[in-house]
Amino acid sequence: MPLPYVLLSAAVSLDGYLDDTGPDRLLLSGPADFERVDEVRASVDAILVGAGTLRADNPRLLVNSPERRAARVAAGLPEYPLKVTVSASGELDPGARFWHTGGAKAVYTTDEGAARLRRTGLTPATHPAVDVVPLGPELDWRLLLAHLHDVLGVRRLMVEGGGTIHTQLLQRQLADEVQLVLAPLFVGDPAAPRLFGPGSYQGGRLRLVETRAVGDVVLLRYEPTAPGAGGRTVPADRHWLRTACELALRCPPSATAFSVGAVVVAADGTELARGHSREAGDPVVHAEEAALAKIDPADPRLGGATVYSSLEPCARRASRPRPCARLILDAGVRRVVTAWREPDTFVEAADGAGLLAGAGAEVVVLPEYEAAAREPNRHLDPGLR
Ligand SMILES: NC(=O)c1ccc[n+]([C@@H]2O[C@H](COP(=O)([O-])OP(=O)(O)OC[C@H]3O[C@@H](n4cnc5c(N)ncnc54)[C@H](OP(=O)(O)O)[C@@H]3O)[C@@H](O)[C@H]2O)c1
């Protein structure tokens, strides 16, 4: 089920609060960061906030720069990104600025919430640019994101809070990226809203992808790292497979073997090892073999780990006694994510995925990375020459 790229964006005080408890919105960012946020808004298809933020801040959520809006129009996009809100209760003020500024809007709600919205005067007659989407008795985030993707054409979604929404998307492993701005001030009031609430998050560390000073605040960009489970893929699966494809670019070229990258990742997102074909001067070593050789076979994390390999692990090979699919199974790994099924270039009807699946492992193929996996193999691949 394809979902939009989900970018969580928030500003927090040094003590981790999103706001204070006063009647006005606390300004955490400075002018330079508001400019940056405007630029990010201009780059997405939709901006989402929770009903709590609509009620607390009455935001407009616009792209403010006329130049950025003109550039969107010149690129064939709507002048403003779609504005989206989420409310189970349907307790939303039909006079809020959200509805009466910018372009198209959508509200995802429950059946009960939709009925309440109609009663309170938010109807197609009064609000023609608003799509009210009831999702049943309660709201399912995957369904909501799939609807945004498939029906409303959203490929990049910026989520601007509040804490309840950010917490749910991160805990459900639906966020691709967190853009956090740390503001040099304190709130110090335990009744104020926090960015992330209690609950179950991924166990290990997120990956820091950027830090940037923006005026007196600091932007931190993180990517989640914990793999999905079974056949369910999450953004971290795509990040790790991209890493495997990048590793494949480091392989010494060969006319007789593929260039492949592989990463082994524990269930909590900790990288256990990585490898690539023919690394460290070994002319025949495969990527998965090189990575697994760096892990203690008794490491208890192997049982819950995922192997990311740019090319499907091999099922048969002449150079070593055990093919990579067998090495993976023998290591106890039961989940493999790959970008490219092995073509018949060297081995006819190689079916590493079949060997793995036949032994009870889950194999997930993400074809959107196939081109990246083929790239270092162009010289072997008649289809790409
Ligand atoms: N510093 C920043 O970057 C930043 C950004 C945004 C917001 N904020 C602050 O954050 C605070 C608001 O945060 P918040 O956590 O109270 O509110 P919120 O996250 O904006 O919205 C929570 C509301 O969204 C709806 N909702 C959430 N999950 C849902 C689900 N699974 N199904 C259906 N509806 C769901 C519910 O609406 P209903 O109650 O209508 O059912 C819920 O009350 C404000 O103080 C605001 O100023 C700060």
Cβ of 210 below 6 Å from ligand 1 = no
**How far does CA 152 lie from the centroid of its chain?**
19
Question: 193 C-alpha vs ligand 1 centroid, how far in Å?
Answer: 10
Q: What order do you get walking across the sheet with 271-276 strand by strand?
A: 271-276, 261-265, 306-311, 335-340, 362-365
**Assigned domain for 229 exists:** no
**Assigned domain for 385 exists:** no
Question: Mind listing the pLDDT tens digit for each residue in 189-241?
Answer: 999 999 999 999 999 999 999 999 999 999 999 999 999 999 999 999 999 99
Residue 307: the pLDDT is 98
Atom from ligand 1 closest to the CA of residue 109? 33
**Assigned domain for 154 exists:** yes
Cβ of 144 below 6 Å from ligand 1 = no
Residue with tokens 């390999």: 309
Residue whose C-alpha is closest to residue 340's, from 302, 304, 383, 285: 383
* DSSP secondary structure string for all residues of 288-302: HHHHHTTS-TT-GGG
Q: What gap in Å lies between CA 46 and CA 162, rounded to an integer?
A: 16
Residue 84: the pLDDT is 98
Residue with tokens 């490219």: 340
Q: Whose CA is closest to atom 10 on ligand 1?
A: 162
Instruction: Answer yes or no: do 198 and 88 share one domain.
Output: yes
Cis ω for the linkage preceding 162 (within 30 of 0): yes
Residue 345: the pLDDT is 84
**Assigned domain for 283 exists:** yes
Q: Are 260 and 248 in contact (CB under 8 A)?
A: yes
Instruction: Answer yes or no: do 96 and 150 share one domain.
Output: yes
Instruction: Answer yes or no: do 255 and 309 share one domain.
Output: yes
Query: What is the number of other CB atoms lying within 10 angstroms of the CB of residue 192?
Result: 18
Q: Can you point out the beta strands (E) in 68-190?
A: 82-87, 105-109, 130-134, 156-159, 177-183
Residue 385: the pLDDT is 46
Q: What is the mean pLDDT of the chain?
A: 95
Instruction: Answer yes or no: do 218 and 250 share one domain.
Output: no
Neighbouring residues of 327: CB distance < 8 A, sequence distance ≥ 6:
288, 289, 292, 313
Instruction: Answer yes or no: do 194 and 244 share one domain.
Output: no
User: Distances from the Cα of 190 to the Cαs of 15, 19, 66, 166, 186, in angstroms?
Assistant: 10, 11, 40, 19, 11
Instruction: Answer yes or no: do 285 and 335 share one domain.
Output: yes
Instruction: Answer yes or no: do 257 and 358 share one domain.
Output: yes
Instruction: Answer yes or no: do 69 and 207 share one domain.
Output: yes
Q: Which of 223, 257, 285 is the last residue of a domain?
A: 223
User: Distances from the Cα of 270 to the Cαs of 160, 167, 178, 219, 305, in angstroms?
Assistant: 28, 21, 18, 24, 9
Atom from ligand 1 closest to the CA of residue 54? 20
**369: CATH:** 3.40.140.10
The boundaries of the domain holding residue 369 are 235-380
Cβ of 18 below 6 Å from ligand 1 = yes
pLDDT along the chain (385 residues), means of 10: 95 96 92 97 98 96 98 98 98 95 97 95 88 96 97 98 97 97 97 95 96 97 97 96 98 93 98 97 96 98 98 91 96 98 86 95 96 93 55
| Tokens encoding 280 | 């460290």
| Tokens encoding 162 | 């509040």
Cβ of 51 below 6 Å from ligand 1 = yes
Q: How many domains does the chain have?
A: 2
Q: Whose CA is closest to atom 46 on ligand 1?
A: 53
For strands 271-276 and 306-311, give the pairing: unpaired
pTM score, whole prediction: 0.94
Half-sphere exposure of 142 (CA within 13 A, CB side): 9
Instruction: Answer yes or no: do 217 and 240 share one domain.
Output: no
Q: What gap in Å lies between CA 362 and CA 344, rounded to an integer?
A: 23
Instruction: Answer yes or no: do 206 and 307 share one domain.
Output: no
Cβ of 164 below 6 Å from ligand 1 = yes
Atom from ligand 1 closest to the CA of residue 49? 20
Instruction: Answer yes or no: do 58 and 166 share one domain.
Output: yes
Q: What gap in Å lies between CA 243 and CA 305, rounded to an integer?
A: 16
- Coil, helix or strand for 45? coil
